[in-house]
């Protein structure tokens, strides 16, 4: 949109304002709409299709009987030469779709036609330091604003009609290795974000901002020993040290550059009023340099959204020596057992174990492997702590150039990485995108230098099977049973969605958006998008018809870090497309 610099007469300006603001306020996304998003069918205003992140839709217009008639209605290119990995989930409000693309771009698109309404392109500096491709995972909507994070660690709020900047806030120093790739979260009028940068020795943190103006409300470091603050009238008030004591589970000063970045962002459970975040790897990767559990790295955290205090934590990989992280989404769900409702939360960790926790207090309920091969641990104890096989921890370099190499499974890219799973309220199953691979890994000496990679390890990733790496699994969280699986030659690196129509959607690096029968795992539909599908699909209802949308564009961490695996995907085409499908009204079977 272009804007004239001419000054309008006062009367005309007042008339325009009177006409404009009622429509604007009618659009505005409210806290109640955000809370109700899990049940809405005509819009999607949260990342996760609901704050708890179940990625489940109550729509059943589209189902296993008629999905063969699902067809593309429009596709839009993100254009330019910036065709890297596309990992965002679209949001839809009043017939307009809002989505991010690689290199910190935002698009507003007419959801009926695919016409671009506006585009915002962040002016990124040349020295950004993203570890794992120049991706972005989506926007937040609040009031009349479209808010997202950038690769140079800024939050930017845009006017929903024009794409013009309303406010811009620097969250951290990108020259120290910080960035933002996660979709922000709005809870109780607060804009919540995590940061990326664990590979650069940053100090992870979760922060809350005023979404109206970008003012910092509270900050909570996620490395033990750092002070949290609440801001009142622009002044910082201490809100307690994370973990209560500096260096308690860290040696020396390593807690000062401890990593634990919450780079995937978080979810929120209204029933317990808790933010649920995961944290990344401790820095450096070389675990021999940092004896101890290294809190709060590779953990799940529950925080009070009002002030950021940590209410409970659960560490999936204490003293992580394999870069297993712990950022994977912690999805809230309820189930019945012994005549009682269990308020649970589930996560499929990069380390290969699936965990079910009591989300009211973080206590371990059960855990079990969800991939075929785990070598770094022999199992979990009664509290969910891993029972290590120390022969499969990479050795200390000592006086050598590098320590002894071990073969560990899963690989550091994880049994499951960032790509979100889905939970069906109908089947009671989780649908988990997973990968079967391992790695040769060894440790090296390393010293911290601001803004430089801080690994202290080397690695080569290898497939465990000749005919597949990716496996879409249906998992029963009450029993640990795998109900069905679908194999894929290339690694699965995209999100999953499930619907009341007994459908499960996900994409593949080979370019297909696919749908499966949620109960049996039978593939019932596929469409070739032209590039790898890494985004998270969504579905909504508009004009009486059910739509499905997803981003297509190959990239992400696999081709950058994948070792032998990268050779399998080296010929996949990059892209940058937004695809939308629908089931036409005249083809909807009468039910």
Q: By percentage, how much of the chain surpasses pLDDT 90?
A: 86
Residue closest to 138 by CA, chosen among 122, 126, 150 = 150
Region 349-375: mean pLDDT is 98
Region 447-459: mean pLDDT is 94
Report the distance separating Cα 423 and Cα 476, nearest Å.
Answer: 10
pTM: 0.94
pLDDT at 12 > cutoff 70? no
Predicted pLDDT of residue 25? 52
pLDDT at 9 > cutoff 50? no
Mean residue pLDDT across the chain: 93
pLDDT at 583 > cutoff 80? yes
Predicted confidence band at 290 (pLDDT cuts at 50, 70, 90)? very high
Predicted pLDDT of residue 87? 97
Q: DSSP letter at 131?
A: S
Model pLDDT for residues 58-100, shown as the tens digit of each residue:
999 999 999 999 999 999 999 877 788 999 999 999 999 999 9
Residue closest to 132 by CA, chosen among 67, 189, 197, 176 = 197
Phi-psi region of 4 (alpha: psi -120 to 50; beta: other; left: phi over 0): beta
pLDDT at 3 > cutoff 60? no
Residue pair 237/246 in contact (Cβ under 8 Å)? The answer is no
473 Cβ neighbours under 8 A, 6+ residues apart: 370, 431, 432, 434, 482, 484, 485
The H-or-E segment that residue 559 falls in is helix 558-561
Predicted pLDDT of residue 82? 79
Chain-centroid distance, C-alpha 482: 24
pLDDT at 273 > cutoff 70? yes
Predicted pLDDT of residue 251? 87
Active-site residue identified among 144, 269, 320, 323? 323
Predicted confidence band at 11 (pLDDT cuts at 50, 70, 90)? very low
165 Cβ neighbours under 8 A, 6+ residues apart: 120, 156, 157, 158
The H-or-E segment that residue 99 falls in is strand 96-101
Predicted pLDDT of residue 311? 97
Predicted pLDDT of residue 561? 84
Region 14-24: mean pLDDT is 38
| 323 is annotated as an active-site residue | yes
Predicted confidence band at 345 (pLDDT cuts at 50, 70, 90)? very high
Residue pair 312/286 in contact (Cβ under 8 Å)? The answer is no
Predicted pLDDT of residue 358? 98
């Amino acid at each position: 949109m272009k804007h004239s610099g001419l000054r309008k007469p006062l009367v005309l300006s007042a008339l325009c304002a009177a006409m404009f603001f009622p429509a604007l306020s009618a659009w505005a996304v409210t806290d109640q709409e955000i809370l109700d998003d899990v049940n809405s069918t005509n819009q999607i205003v949260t990342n996760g299709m609901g704050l708890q992140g179940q990625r489940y839709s109550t729509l059943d217009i589209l189902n296993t009987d008629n999905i063969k008639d699902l067809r593309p209605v429009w596709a839009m290119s993100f254009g330019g030469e910036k065709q890297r990995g596309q990992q965002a989930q679209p949001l839809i409000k009043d017939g307009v779709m809002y989505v991010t693309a690689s290199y910190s771009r935002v698009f507003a698109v007419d959801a009926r036609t695919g016409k671009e309404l506006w585009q915002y392109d962040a002016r990124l500096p040349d020295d950004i330091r993203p570890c794992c491709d120049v991706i972005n995972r989506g926007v937040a909507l609040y009031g009349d604003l479209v808010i997202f994070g950038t690769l140079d660690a800024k939050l930017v709020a845009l006017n929903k009609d024009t794409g013009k900047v309303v406010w811009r806030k620097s969250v951290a120093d990108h020259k120290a290795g910080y960035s933002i790739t996660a979709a922000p979260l709005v809870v109780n009028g607060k804009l919540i974000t995590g940061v990326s940068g664990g590979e650069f020795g940053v100090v992870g943190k979760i922060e809350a901002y005023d979404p109206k103006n970008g003012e910092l409300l509270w900050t909570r470091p996620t490395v033990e020993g750092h002070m949290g603050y609440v801001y009142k009238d622009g002044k910082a008030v201490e809100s307690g040290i994370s973990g209560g004591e500096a260096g308690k589970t860290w040696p020396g000063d390593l807690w000062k550059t401890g990593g634990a970045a919450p780079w995937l962002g978080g979810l929120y459970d209204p029933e317990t009023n808790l933010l649920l975040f995961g944290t990344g790897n401790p820095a450096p990767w070389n675990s021999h340099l940092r004896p101890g559990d290294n809190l709060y790295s590779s953990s799940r955290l529950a925080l009070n959204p009002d002030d950021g205090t940590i209410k409970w934590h659960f560490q999936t990989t204490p003293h992580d020596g394999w870069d297993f992280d712990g950022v994977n989404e912690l999805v809230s769900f309820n189930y019945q057992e012994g005549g009682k409702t269990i308020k649970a939360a589930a996560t499929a960790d990069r380390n290969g174990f699936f965990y079910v926790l009591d989300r009211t207090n973080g206590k371990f309920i059960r855990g079990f492997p969800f991939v075929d091969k785990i070598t770094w641990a022999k199992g979990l104890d009664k509290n969910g702590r891993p029972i290590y096989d120390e022969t499969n921890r990479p050795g200390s370099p000592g006086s050598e150039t590098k320590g002894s190499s071990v073969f560990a499974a899963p690989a550091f890219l994880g049994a499951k990485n960032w790509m979100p799973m889905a939970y069906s309220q109908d089947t009671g199953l989780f649908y988990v995108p997973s990968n079967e691979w391992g790695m040769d890994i060894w440790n090296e000496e390393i010293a911290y230098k601001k803004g430089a990679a801080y690994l202290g390890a080397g690695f080569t990733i290898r497939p465990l099977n000749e005919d597949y790496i990716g496996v879409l699994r249906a998992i029963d969280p009450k029993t640990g049973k795998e109900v069905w699986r679908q194999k894929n030659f290339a690694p699965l690196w995209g999100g999953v969605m499930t619907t009341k129509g007994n459908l499960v959607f996900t994409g593949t690096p080979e370019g297909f958006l696919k749908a499966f029968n949620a109960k049996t795992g039978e593939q019932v539909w596929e469409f070739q998008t032209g590039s790898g599908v890494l985004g998270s699909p969504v579905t909504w209802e508009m004009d009486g018809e059910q739509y499905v949308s997803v981003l297509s564009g190959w990239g992400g961490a696999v081709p950058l870090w994948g070792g032998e695996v990268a050779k399998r995907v080296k010929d996949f085409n990059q892209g940058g497309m937004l695809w939308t499908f629908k089931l036409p009204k005249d083809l909807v079977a009468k039910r």
